[in-house]
Structure 1
């Protein structure tokens, strides 16, 4: 008898491209997903993956099974979501919201009192995840992402843009006027490509600032603390950096391109009262963030 989790794991390998990436997406150990695939191979009496020293990939049969199983897995997920919705009538099931570390710690977490003020009767799970989670596989109920997602089953809402700018600690400036700073001759702290090729990375190239980059990281909090310590001039979200009294804005002739976040929810969940409350709270939180200082 087939276990739906085993099919989900096979689909995850097909979509993610490797066993390790699939395990990370499914939030299970590599040994667990490997064991489930072995169980699926025994049940189907087919070799579904090629296990080599350089990694694990799907065989031709594995790809065919994964492609065929994907709509089946989606239908099973819809059944589970429907059951959750039916059980949630009068119940306080948690709402799981997935976002990056920056969105969780610097945007949503500080705004929780606004959500609690609505007398919500359900817990909220804020899941800090760099990877794009699958709402169809019920890895989360709502997600905030910095690039436009794809999927016919998703309801997408573009959030207010998050503007970026350079900021330096007063100790780093050492009494120099920000307007006189030539970024080509400074130590710049910028994002890496952890979330894909972000617009500001191309902007840095166009501005001739590549050789000035001293630090690259996918962590906004890492950039923030490094800038505050005086390690260099950080490229940071304006509304967040302006909260830090130690940081001073360093102007540029051309502003960096803004981030354009998206709020996504599965079509089957959008009418659940708890989902609607959290969805509206995220929208208002981003609106207040941008209106308050971007």
Structure 2
């Protein structure tokens, strides 16, 4: 019985995701489909690849060995699919897809795009503004920038330059009050939600007893800024972003707020590709210039 690349990709997804349900989500199919494909693969190879337990599934030693051997094959198939998509769309070169938050896309990467061309990129890039954590295993993106370090042996993560945050308000909201006399516990605070994971600044807000002062949460940095500019409250914002507004006033805090630690994430199977290397270098330089 010939092997189906789809079945091998499902096996790799189970290895990377850790559960059948997570693997099915990565692959975009039902759990029953993944289970059936794995059974078909086990029959074709005459090996038990997955150890099905009451607390989940684990790849057997044979399963891990097959998944390791199949990884380059699955990656090559994905590259063929990407090339076919590019050819259908009339794109000469395979684009590199980058997933990041709205702020990173609009205020860090997009303004630095000229530097990408300057270091020799001759291929298009797709910048996807996404709050949700995409699956690099399923190639929802080639690279991702996230504010929480991911887990997974198949992923390579590199820490980027820190992003400093602070509270900012418009003169309209302050009404002539000095920023130095503001007691945040008595104000209206506009902060992030947990779209990007449990960010250190959210933990800080809880520890400082400021949770009851929060009147708005959102995953949108621009939403926070426009609300602050309209006088809706004191917003938690990246310092770089707030400074560019030209109208917001920093509000000091008695205890320093922790910095945000962004991570550049790439699947290990892609790290050696020339285009990925160029994009990684560009992203690191864009953050270093902050």
For the criterion TM > 0.5, the same-fold answer is yes
Tell me the C-alpha RMSD between the 2 structures.
3.6
Question: What residue number does 2:70 align with?
Answer: 76
Quote how far apart the aligned CAs of 1:166 are. 0.1
Question: What residue number does 2:124 align with?
Answer: 123
Please give the per-residue CA displacement for 1:181-217, whole angstroms capped at 9, x wherever unaligned.
1111110011122233222122112222111110112
Secondary structure of 1:214's match? strand
- Once residues 16 and 265 of structure 2 are traced to their aligned partners in structure 1, the CA distance between those partners, rounded to angstroms, is 23
- Once residues 34 and 130 of structure 2 are traced to their aligned partners in structure 1, the CA distance between those partners, rounded to angstroms, is 25
Please give the per-residue CA displacement for 1:88-136, whole angstroms capped at 9, x wherever unaligned.
9xx7321121222332233212222222334521111222333333334
Question: What residue number does 1:287 align with?
Answer: 288
Question: What residue number does 1:264 align with?
Answer: 265
Quote how far apart the aligned CAs of 1:63 are. 4.3
34 and 265 in structure 1: CA distance in 2 versus 1, 3 angstrom threshold: closer
Task: Tell me, yes or no, if the aligned pair for 1:6 and 1:36 is still in contact at 8 Å.
Answer: no
Alignment of 1:132-281 (within 5 A): 132-281=133-282
Task: Tell me, yes or no, if the aligned pair for 1:187 and 1:232 is still in contact at 8 Å.
Answer: yes
Task: Tell me, yes or no, if the aligned pair for 1:99 and 1:126 is still in contact at 8 Å.
Answer: yes
How many residues were matched structurally?
270
Please give the per-residue CA displacement for 1:37-78, whole angstroms capped at 9, x wherever unaligned.
4864895899xxxxxxxxxxxx85894477775764554342
Quote how far apart the aligned CAs of 1:280 are. 0.8
Task: Tell me, yes or no, if the aligned pair for 1:269 and 1:275 is still in contact at 8 Å.
Answer: yes
Structure 1 gap segments, 5+ residues each: 47-58, 290-294
Normalization by structure 1: what TM-score?
A: 0.75
Normalization by structure 2: what TM-score?
A: 0.76
Structure 2 gap segments, 5+ residues each: 44-51, 84-91
Secondary structure of 1:103's match? helix
